[in-house]
Every structure is written in C-alpha cells, then in structure tokens.
Structure 1
C-alpha cells in the first residue's frame, strides 16, 4: 500500500495531503519466524533411511544427498539435467535459480560417489541423454515438488520410529536451511554462504546468523573472560543459616 500511494502522489499531486497520511501509517510489526532446520545428527539419521539394496532407495538417497550437499531450492533440484553434473575434479553441479541465473556448486566426495553410481546404473552417461532430467519418477518423467515432498515425508516417518532427533514435519526447503546453518556453524563466512545459496543480497543470508544462537554463545565465550563465578558455598555447612532456619518452624 505504501508503494502504491508513493506512486499515486506523483501522478495526482492534488491529493498529496491525503496520500501522505496513508504513507505515514506505520507498518505492522510481526514476529519473524525462525529458520527451520535439522541438526547434523538428525540429517545423518534421515539420510540413513533409504534402502540401498533397491534401485528406488538408491535414487532417493542420491536425491536427498544432492539436495542437502548443494543447498538447492526444490525447483533447482527438479531442473537439474544430466549435463549439469560435472564429476571431473573439481566436481560441481550447475544450478539454475531465480531469474534464470546459474551458479556452480561444489560437491563433496561422498555425493560424487553416489552420483557416479546413480548415473551409471541408470545409463545416463550417454551423450544423447545430456538433456535428460537427472532425477525422474517411475514414468521416467521429471519429478514434481509434490513428488519430492512425498519422498521426504516417507523417510521422516521411517526415521522417527527409531529416533526423536528428526522432527515430525520436514519440508524440502529445510534441507537448504540445514546446509546453510551447518556451513555457518563450521565457521564459513557469510559472503561465501550467500554465493553458495545464490542469494542476491547478503541481508537474506543474515537470517541464518540471527538464528544460530549456539554459534553466538561460542563466539562470546571465546572473546570475553569468564567473570562470573559459578562456585557457591554449600549452605548445608552454614551453621548460622541452619540455626536460623530451624527457628522458623
């Protein structure tokens, strides 16, 4: 509304006084939601769920590993083509994000191994399959957002049978948030995390720094001396106090 009336006041100066009153209305303050993410332990448990002895399980493991390792948005993951996967050293995946902007994201060695086996098993290493989607459903069509959400929910339910570390609701975008938080906790500079995630503005990336209270606590402990003495005398040995307490009966 503010933007609209800023525009209107330049087009219709006669109503400037009334438009200014609208613009002066303060913006409603709302509580900013915390960034939902998984701990490293919870992510490890979740990635252990797919059955590696069957082809679909291997696909799901590779898909979730790539989604976490690259911090890809769900649509970016869906749009990955075989030609976007470069496994020669240094291994990277080319992601196409918002505004059709591309970025090259490095891959860790375990994810590279999964991708090599997945591409070979599904015979995607042929030149004429370069434009094929990397991940497909049972009909060999490109996966949908709903399809990826279904895969994650399935393994969340499986993980929760043996552990409470994994929350009951895990959305696909939480993989991206989790990667960003884990990079931050590992000491990676926000500038690198911004480029890794494909953010245009560093302010978008700063939400992870505001959320990560554990990193803040460790930083404060490293910088400031411990001035507060937590050692307290044992009141059981204070005879004067014990005598006073006994008189209260």
Structure 2
C-alpha cells in the first residue's frame, strides 16, 4: 500500500470508530505529513521507520522551538498510527510504543492579591436604586465569590451545590468532587451569611439548587456565572481577562499557604487526589520569594555597584 493510503485508512478509522472531530483529523493529518517529510529527507518511508528515526523527528521538533505539549501530542499521534499499522498487519511492531513524551511545562497558576479579592467582593454590592433583579444578581455574585474564595471550590462543585447543603448551624459544606470523592470544607462566617441571604431571597422559587438558573429546576450555568464575574470585575477595576473561577481557587490556595497553612490540609481542602498536584502552590511561593529578593535586596538591585566594590 502507498504511504498516503495508509494515512487515509488511519484517519478513516479515527472518524468511524472514535468519532474524531474534523479538527482532530486535520491535526493528525498535519502531524503525519510533517513526520513523513522529515523521514523522506533521510531516505526513509514511514512504514519502515525505526524507533530511533522517529525519536530524531521528535527531537527536531523541540529544536525547532515547538512546545512540549505540541511534541507530546505529535508523539501520541505516532503511537496511534503505528498501533493501527500493527493491528492491520502492515507492521509486526510499534516503533513509537516506547518513545517517551517530554514532560509538560510547569505553568504556575494565576492568582489575585488579597487586596484585589477584597475589591472584588466589595464590588458585589447592588447599585443605589437597583431593581429587584439587580439586587438578586448582586446576592448571587456575593454568595458565589465568597464561597469560591473562602473554600477553594471548583466552579462545577459550587454550581451543583444542592440547596440543602447549606445549614445555618453548620460551618461545613459536604462537597462531591472529581471522581465522586466527597470532602468536608469549612466556610467562613461572611461566606455563610452571603449564601444564607441568597437562600432566603430564593425561598419562593423552591429550587433544588443553591444557585438556581432562570429555570429554577436547573442550576445556574457556567456561562451565566462568567457574565456575572465579568461585570463584578469591571466594577472592581480589575481586568476581566485575569478573572475566572479557577483564579479564585488558586488565590484561596496561595493565600492560605502564604499565611502558614499546612500542605496536607490544603490538599484535603482542594480535593486533590495526589499531593503532587497541590505542591504547585509551593512553587508559587518560591517564585514570590525570589521576586521579593530581586526587588528589595540591595545586592540584587545594584549589581554594577557591587561589581565595582569587589573589583
């Protein structure tokens, strides 16, 4: 079979058996075209390629400045393509099976300063002369942002909170997180008061959700909440591009660590299955300390003068 025909069969299999999207098919087609061109320059046909030749292509991608994530995705494509050839009897092995993907780049989470969070919460107040709908919208914003920041909830965990999850005499919320794992998280007094204010306002709607949408039978959607957050951000004088529910979760974790919280306790509060996930916040603290030294230490800010004195 011609090389192009093998690729076509592979893409047809992805579309038929795995319902791959058009974008995925285009990406895989481009990946295999790039690999084919590299191998052709070495006088090698993809169907006969060896592991070291495929590894050379991946290394060339990295040298060309492509991100680790892109290289990892292209390796995934190779593994699937050669597994397909193996199953079809075209090859007797999968030369890409044991190739290692590059480690993903460690991106530090974005977070707000404590003063920015305060400004955001203060901006949840309804304007003077507000309508009933505007006042309720302010209650939704305040309750949601207080709970997100006070407890580090994921947005899906917040929006799917049942109405009965909130009890005036209970300082804890039972959260069902990823993988169905349950955890108890404490809520601050101000967060509980904000949530109870919304609870009382919506009593007549008889919704099963603490944050009901326009249809009381359904929970508030992520898109509707994003609009509320955008409005509050503008009133607080913050760039809405910097705001998201996850930024508030990151702010919760970063601020707790900054005030001496234990990493294991933070893991439990965030609902991380692996503490390695929680440890990203220690990197945030390390980066902040590094910036503080560079900004305020006299030897760090005056390298030229230091060099003259020691010269």
Normalised TM-score (structure 1)? 0.71
Matched, 1:119 2:199: yes
Which residue does 1:200 correspond to in 2?
273
Which residue does 2:118 correspond to in 1?
44
> 1:73-92 CA distances to partner (integer Å, 9 max, x unpaired)?
11101110121113315x11
1:135 to 187, 211, 217: 211
The alpha carbon displacement at 1:179 in A equals 0.5
User: For residues 172 and 185 of structure 1, what CA distance do their matches in structure 2 show?
Assistant: 20
Unaligned runs of 5+ in 1: 221-225, 235-249
- CA-atom RMSD in angstroms: 3.5
User: For residues 229 and 93 of structure 1, what CA distance do their matches in structure 2 show?
Assistant: 46
Say which structure, 1 or 2, has more relative contact order (CA 8 Å, 6+ apart): 1
The number of aligned residues is 211
Helix, strand or coil for the counterpart of 1:86?
coil
Residues 88 and 30 (structure 1), Cα distance of their counterparts in 2 relative to 1, 3 Å cut: same
User: For residues 125 and 215 of structure 2, what CA distance do their matches in structure 1 show?
Assistant: 20
Residues 96 and 17 (structure 1), Cα distance of their counterparts in 2 relative to 1, 3 Å cut: same
2:137 to 26, 41, 56: 56
The alpha carbon displacement at 1:16 in A equals 11
User: For residues 157 and 210 of structure 1, what CA distance do their matches in structure 2 show?
Assistant: 30
Unaligned runs of 5+ in 2: 1-75, 128-134, 306-311
**Structure in which a larger fraction of residues adopt helix:** 2
1:142-157 equivalences under 5 Å are: 142-157=219-234
Helix, strand or coil for the counterpart of 1:194?
helix
Matched, 1:33 2:33: no
1:179 to 252, 275, 291: 252
User: For residues 167 and 212 of structure 1, what CA distance do their matches in structure 2 show?
Assistant: 24
Residues 229 and 117 (structure 1), Cα distance of their counterparts in 2 relative to 1, 3 Å cut: closer
Residues 114 and 229 (structure 1), Cα distance of their counterparts in 2 relative to 1, 3 Å cut: closer
User: Following superposition, which runs of at least 4 residues in structure 1 exceed 3 angstroms of deviation?
Assistant: 14-19, 214-218, 228-232
